[in-house]
Structure 1
């Protein structure tokens, strides 16, 4: 798992700058671990110019998907069996591009991952537990965002 020693809690807050986000992550590390020594924002964590993240969320309809997102199982996503009070649990793929066109640092990856999910309901699973490489058959490397409660 990548970044599995980093504590973070996803929320609905959209961070406008990576500097603001970096400060929030650093402070969160200090709150949880009493130190931020494991948070290395400039460390390259994915040596790809583009990748996909996969995560679970609850959405009311497809309008909540961002421009760079698709549903993994679009046919059954809004099936009545998958509904709970008008919300549907779905698996989402988000296409991310590295700002430098080469690779993702820990800061850029977590910043983009956080903001990608900010407009969605994550239920009880808001605590970041790292990433796992996914075995989806796609052109781009795909990483599952592991979250716990």
Structure 2
């Protein structure tokens, strides 16, 4: 099951003080980009689990992972300087997000947590959200790949 393929977002815009502020601006962004605002239901439960794993690509420095992130690369990944540009390495990362209520994720909470997780990362030119694609998980925690592109006019 893929998620959020009918909405768009840009991870380089404003940082938000609260989930309420984020959701208000998220809805405005849907209208601004020509997306169907009616397709966004912030209260819809999109994940029936207390946690979710999100896999994404970002440019990172050695030892620059957040506490809830795992590097999905070989152990010696940072040893090869030829893989870096300006001291940053393009890496696949997995972040584990936890639901506030300990049971499930409403759409607005998941998008807000994604925004907070991804915004500090260097994504290169691909900073526009294009959806979450379901991945095979080795645990009971659902896993998704975060698709990003160069503009919110493209679709997967």
TM-score, normalisation: structure 1? 0.91
Q: Name the SS for the 1:102 alignment partner.
A: coil
Q: How does 1:1-149 map to 2 (within 5 A)?
A: 1-11=2-12, 13-33=14-34, 35-63=36-64, 65-78=65-78, 79-149=80-150
Which residue number corresponds to residue 153 of structure 2?
A: none
TM-score, normalisation: structure 2? 0.87
- Structure 1: give runs of 5+ residues left out of the alignment: none
Alignment root-mean-square deviation, CA: 1.7
- Call closer, same or farther: CA 1:76–1:125 in 2, change over 3 Å: farther
Kept after mapping to 2: 8 A contact 1:12/1:119: no
Kept after mapping to 2: 8 A contact 1:9/1:128: yes
Q: Deviations over 1:99-133 (max 9, x none)?
A: 11111111010100110012110111111111111
- Call closer, same or farther: CA 1:129–1:45 in 2, change over 3 Å: same
**Of 48-57 and 81-90, the range deviating more from structure 2:** 81-90
Q: Name the SS for the 1:70 alignment partner.
A: strand
The number of equivalent residue pairs is: 148
Kept after mapping to 1: 8 A contact 2:127/2:149: yes
